[in-house]
Amino acid sequence: MSQTVAHLALRYLIRSTGTPEVSTNNVLHMLLSADEAMAAGFLRVLSQFGERDVQGCRIDRESFSTDPVTAKRSFRDFLLSRDGSPQAVVETKIDSSLTSEDQVTRYLDQLPNDGLLVLITRQPLLQGLMRQASQQLGITFALDAGIYQARRGEQHVLGLSWTRLLRNVLDSNGAPFDELLALDAAIEGIADFVPFSGSVQDAATGRVVSQVTEVAQELCTLLSERLDLANVKYDWVSRLRQRGWAMWIVFSIRGHEFWVGYDAEYWALIPGDPEHPESGFVSGAAPSPIWVNRYHNASWKVSPEEGARLNRLDRLGIALPLQVPLGVPQDAVVEALLSQAVQHIAKISEGLYADSTVVDSTGAPSVEENDPDDESGYLGG
């Protein structure tokens, strides 16, 4: 199998699971366990970079120690030991940063006074990871040829990228291993996942949220024009509204107001869940970050007329999670959502215009458009 095909297959394996870090470590451990020369080269390069002799060590995957006081288990991605004595811990990352405020110190506390801790992540995330490690340890890392190094007493802490590690694992003739080159290409070749905020602990999740908000903004910007082209009747549409957890616009049809857009809390809803009336009556649909729905707020006091409008929207099935197609370009996602939204709003409009009990209301919106701090547009339950 060529390296090109191999790294594409490995990338699919890594990304098709819910835990890409675990998948990557399992693949690496399998390769090292099956090839003694590769394992020797792996330990040799760690010895060289870490200035500690770990050659000949046993490589254990997913080892753990138990705190004698709290009985809490502390897992290590890889533990290197000699004659049953820990020599080094190798902690790897794919998209996430350090997962606790004491992760680095806990690992060092499990090692001897001259132990080695190696932190590995993808190149775009390395600087951020080592900044976290520096804050936890209260020490400064020196950067030399792409490798971060620092000492806590006689203990050595090393930070490097997957590329720096895997491409320097050599056989006895000084040649790299094709399998590790393919694994490196699979890991480091993922260019669509990069950190964009220090507050986001998982860069992959952060990127997904960023993409969703971009799609939602395009949907909200284009929707009224598409409704006009489809000759869908409505009274008015609001400006784009945003909060930290939501982005939406408001439509009114014959005085019946509803919103279209992204809401993080709705993303967690199961469509058609009877315990959550705001989830609507569409069962079997996949959860979605983007919805068409009316306002739901149990604390609001509504007039009989407004209550009748809300009930009318419910009978027409206003609550709809727009289904997001997967594996297609962003433009195609936006088009699919626009098509669903136009079709659904057209159905709502036709139903309201066909209802003889509706009394037209074209007054001012209940959501004050001129007040950017107004919270009356709260979407949740």
Summarised one tens digit per residue, pLDDT across range 303-340 is 888 889 999 999 999 999 999 887 788 888 999 999 99
pTM above threshold 0.85: no
pLDDT in tens, 219-273: 999 999 999 999 999 999 999 998 767 899 999 999 999 999 999 888 888 888 8
Mean pLDDT of the chain: 82
Exposure on the CB side of residue 180, measured as CA atoms within 13 A:
24
Q: What is the pLDDT of residues 50-80, one digit of tens each?
A: 999 999 999 998 765 555 555 556 678 899 9
Regarding whether 182 and 33 lie in a shared domain, the answer is yes
Whether residue 184 is found in the same domain as residue 207: no
User: Same structural domain for residues 232 and 179?
Assistant: no
CA atoms of 158 and 80, how far apart (whole Å): 15
Cα 280 to chain centroid distance, Å, stands at 26
DSSP letters, 71-133, are --EEEEEEEEEETTEEEEEEEE-SSB--SSTTHHHHHHHTS-TT-EEEEEE-HHHHHHHHHHH
Q: Number of folded domains in the chain? A: 2
Domain boundary among 188, 214, 249: 188
How many CA atoms does the CB half-sphere of 322 hold within 13 Å? 29
280 within 8 A of 292, measured Cβ to Cβ: no
Q: Tokens standing for 294?
A: 């009316």
Res. 367 pLDDT band, cuts 50 70 90 = very low
Q: Which of 156, 188, 220 is the last residue of a domain?
A: 188
Range of the domain at 252: 203-353
Contact 336, 218 (CB under 8 A): no
272 and 181 co-located in one domain: no
